[in-house]
Structure 1
Amino acid sequence: MPEKRVAVASKVGLHARPAALVAKTAAAQPVAVQIAKAGGNPVAAGSVLNLMTLAAGYGDEVIISAEGEGAEEAVEAVAQLVATDLDA
């Protein structure tokens, strides 16, 4: 199962606008993408509410994973967004 660890780059963390953008990208992938705060339980990355319940703040490390055909590309697409400052 491909996974990638990245730090949350948005100053507000995975909340509000950044969470909506990440959820939209995750939901558009051909496989289910999961995200977990380091040491926490994974949740579906395609849900804004799930992302907000992670309470992942700026600089927190998260683990993004997926399984199935296209999983590596899906993980990379979501990881790139999480690692980008989406506050603007």
Structure 2
Amino acid sequence: MEKSRFKVLAETGIMSRPATRLVMAAQEYTSDVTLTYNDRTVNLKSIMGVMSLGIPQDSYIEIEINGDDEKEAMAGIEDYLQKEGIVEKVTMDADA
């Protein structure tokens, strides 16, 4: 299992274009990928699930990945999120 926590930096949060691209990035891997925000967890490969969370700027999210390519998947998803300026990685014990 790979698990990381992030703070959302994007002014628009994780909605519309960022959400669509994030889902597309997750779909490149065979592992199960989930996104948690405000105690709600959704499949990160589902655009409807991600959009239903309504994730705003300055919120905290967690991504958990389980499967054969979990390390590669986490590296790829983190790379996408950080290159696009959508999030910054934070330690798992940071205050939300």
| Interval containing the TM-score (normalised by the shorter chain) | 0.7 to 0.9
Give the aligned partner of residue 8 of structure 1. Answer: 8
Count of residue correspondences: 85
Cα RMSD of the aligned pairs, angstroms, is 1.6
Deviations 1:34-64 (A, max 9, x none): 1001x41211111111111112111211000
Give the aligned partner of residue 79 of structure 1. Answer: 78
Unaligned runs of 5+ in 2: 87-96
Say whether residues 1:30 and 2:24 are aligned partners.
no
Normalising by the residue count of structure 1, what TM-score does the alignment of the two structures yield? 0.83
Give the aligned partner of residue 64 of structure 1. Answer: 63
Unaligned runs of 5+ in 1: none
Say whether residues 1:42 and 2:78 are aligned partners.
no
Larger Rg: 2
Identity of aligned residues (%): 20
Higher strand content, 1 or 2? 2
Normalising by the residue count of structure 2, what TM-score does the alignment of the two structures yield? 0.77
Contact 1:4 1:76 in 2 (8 A): no
